[in-house]
Amino acid sequence: AELPQATLDDMQNLQYDVCSVHARKLLDAILPELPEGPLKDELAAWDCCYDPDSPEAVVFQRLYRQLLIELLGHDHGIGWRRMVYLASRVGFSAMLLISADRLLLDPSPTLWDGRDKGELIRRAASQTEQQMGGLWSDVNNFHFTDRFFGNHQVGRMLGYNSRKIAMPGCNTTPFQGHVLQTATRESTFAPSYHFVTDVSQDEAWTNLPGGPSENRFSKLYKNDVTRWMTGEYKRLSADC
């Protein structure tokens, strides 16, 4: 909602907002075409927020992927192999997916190549119903690694790798928490620094997923991680 006057708290909350306008718009077009049942009920009750403990976020993402495959993964489209590849790598195919979203939201029958839009949605829903279950934290999670050791066993033995951590949000939320798995490589996309200030005051409120020291044995190496994960900000000013 539009704010008549933004406060520091408002801006801090905005940086941790995990609600997706993208999901809300698509559901407005998809829900009327879904058959009655658990899938429709679950998505209709969803608040469109990608919280780590949300099962609905997982269901929506799987339905969205199946919709893209049904829409463009045919002989006259991109082809199912290419579409599966692109749909599973959302962060790298935004331009294509924006165009696909426009097709999903456009009621014009000429854009559907003679196919029934409702039937495509119901076919995608049928595929999704076979994959129900799980939380967003099961799908979207990451762990901290050392740049030098990476995921090698030595790094794990020395304690450089953290446990798996739930990543809130996705690529369509203000908190853009997006994890991409490609073979053995894990790529993480998320805010690396939060900064909020009131220009009328000589101070700033910040946090980051790390710490001000690169020394692994320093207490400042990752002393901000908990703040970053919980949405807590620390105050910085000349008198600190």
Indicate which CATH number applies to the domain containing 95.
1.10.1400
- Predicted local distance difference test score (pLDDT) of residue 154: 66
Regions in the chain scoring below 70 on pLDDT = 1, 75-77, 89-95, 109-113, 147-152, 154-159, 182-184, 240
Please check whether residues 120 and 156 belong to one and the same domain.
no
Phi, psi (5° rounding) for residue 214? -90, 0
Domain membership of residue 177 (yes or no) is: yes
- Predicted local distance difference test score (pLDDT) of residue 156: 66
Q: Which domain holds residue 45?
A: 18-137
- Predicted local distance difference test score (pLDDT) of residue 188: 84
Task: State how many domains the chain has.
Answer: 2
- Predicted local distance difference test score (pLDDT) of residue 175: 95
Domain membership of residue 187 (yes or no) is: yes
- Predicted local distance difference test score (pLDDT) of residue 84: 76
Report the alpha-carbon distance of residue 170 to residue 190 in Å, rounded: 9
Of 81, 105, 137, the residue at which a domain comes to its end is: 137
- Predicted local distance difference test score (pLDDT) of residue 126: 94
179's enclosing H/E stretch is strand 178-182
Domain membership of residue 43 (yes or no) is: yes
Phi, psi (5° rounding) for residue 17? -75, 125
Domain membership of residue 1 (yes or no) is: no
Domain membership of residue 84 (yes or no) is: yes
Please check whether residues 75 and 113 belong to one and the same domain.
yes
Please check whether residues 156 and 206 belong to one and the same domain.
yes
Please check whether residues 118 and 151 belong to one and the same domain.
no
Tokens of 143: 């762990």
Condensed to tens digits (0 to 9), the pLDDT of residues 138-164 reads 989 988 877 666 666 766 666 677 788
Please check whether residues 68 and 128 belong to one and the same domain.
yes
- Predicted local distance difference test score (pLDDT) of residue 149: 66
Residue 31 near residue 41 (C-beta atoms within 8 A) = no
Please check whether residues 122 and 163 belong to one and the same domain.
no
